[in-house]
Amino acid sequence: MPTPPDARLLSGMSVLVAVVEAGSFVRAAEALGLTPSGISRAVARLETQVGVRLFDRSSRAVVLTGEGRRFYEQVAPLLTGIEEAASDAGGAATAARGRLRVNVDPIVSCWLHSHLSTFLAANPGVSLELVVSHRVADLVAEGFDAAVRFGEPEPSSLVTRTLLRTRVVTCAAPAYLARHGRPAHPRELGDGLHECILFRYPGMSSPGAWAFRRGRERIEVPVSGRLTLNDAVVHLSACVEGQGIARILDLGVGALMSQGKLVRLFEGWEEPPIPLHVVHPSRRLLPAKVRAFLDFVTGTGVELAWCAH
C-alpha cells in the first residue's frame, strides 16, 4: 500500500508556490497570513524533505534554482488540481448537480413519474436514475442517494422523513360491478361469486387472505381469483379494465375514483394507515442534489395526500 503524503510536505509545496508567485518571502507571508520567518522555516523543511536546494536567496531577490524550477513545474499543476477538486466537491453542497440514484416502490413510481419533468427542469445539473423495485435496497451498499418506500422503516442509522399516510382500499371498475353486482359486505368476496385480482408480494408463498377492520371488529376473508400479479402498475390497470375486485393503496386510486373509473367498496372497513417515507443515508453535509430531491418529494407528497382523499 502506498504511503500517504506527509501533511507537512503538502504544506511546504503550498508555501513554495506562494513564494514563486509573490516573488519574495515577505509578500508570500502576507498572502498566507504567516511571518517571513515562518515562510523561511517552511521552505527549509521542504528542501530537507526533497533533498535539494530550491531557492537561491540574496538580500535583493529569491530565485528558483534549476532543481527548484523543475520541482515547481511538477508541483504547481498538482496543487491546482487539488484546489479544483476541493472546490468542485464543496460546490456539490450548494449547487444540485451530478447523478442522483433513488430506489422507489412501484406504486410510488406510478404517481412520481408525472412530476419528474418538473424536478429535472428545476435542477438542470442533476441526472436522475430512478430504480423501481419491490425490494428495499441497502442504500449505502448499493450506492443509492435516497429511497421512497411504504411501510414502517426498520431501525437503522438512516434518516427517515414521513411524507404521508395512506390506506388500503377495496375497489372495482363500474363495468365489473355492472356485470357481477356490488358486494355489500367483505364476506361476500369469499363465497366464489366475485373474481378478485390477487397480488403476490416478494417473499410470499401465496397472496393470502384479505383482512378487513371496522372499529374493534377484524375479519379475514379467503378470497380467490384467476389472476395473480406482482406488478403494482399492471395490478391497478387490470382493476380499471374491469377484470375483478382489487385491494390497492388509496394513494394510487384517489384520482381514478374521483374520475369515476373506480368505485370504492366497503366504506368503514379499513386497515391502519401505511406510511410513505423518504430515506437517505446522512443528515450531515447533505449534498444539494439530495436536498433538492427531498424538497421535491415532500411537496409532491403533500399534494398527492390531498388528491388521494
pLDDT in the model for residue 224: 87
Under the banding of pLDDT at 50, 70 and 90, the label for residue 238 is very high
Residue 172 shares a structural domain with residue 200: yes
Residue 240 lies in a domain: yes
Residue 15 shares a structural domain with residue 79: yes
CATH of the domain at 223: 3.40.190.10
Residue 189 shares a structural domain with residue 244: yes
Q: Please write the tens of the pLDDT for every residue from 102-121.
A: 988 877 777 777 778 888 88
Separation of alpha carbons 273 and 278, rounded Å: 16
Residue 71 scores a pLDDT above 70: yes
pLDDT in the model for residue 305: 43
Residue 36 lies in a domain: yes
pLDDT in the model for residue 85: 55
Domain limits for position 190: 166-264
pLDDT in the model for residue 202: 63
Average pLDDT estimate for 220-234: 88
Residue 181 lies in a domain: yes
Separation of alpha carbons 2 and 299, rounded Å: 48
Residue 269 scores a pLDDT above 60: yes
Q: How many domains does the chain contain in total? A: 3
DSSP for the chain, please give it: -PPPPPHHHHHHHHHHHHHHHHSSHHHHHHHHT--HHHHHHHHHHHHHHHTS--EEE-SS-EEE-HHHHHHHHHHHHHHHHHHHHHHHHHHTTTS--EEEEEEE-HHHHHHHGGGHHHHHHH-TTEEEEEEE-SSPP-TTTTT-SEEEEESPPPSSSSEEEEEEEE-EEEEE-HHHHHHH---SSGGGGGSSSS-BEEE--TT-SS--PEEEEETTEEEEE----SEEE--HHHHHHHHHTTS-BEEEEHHHHHHHHHTTSSEEESTT--PPPEEEEEEES-STT--HHHHHHHHHHHHHHHHHHHHT-
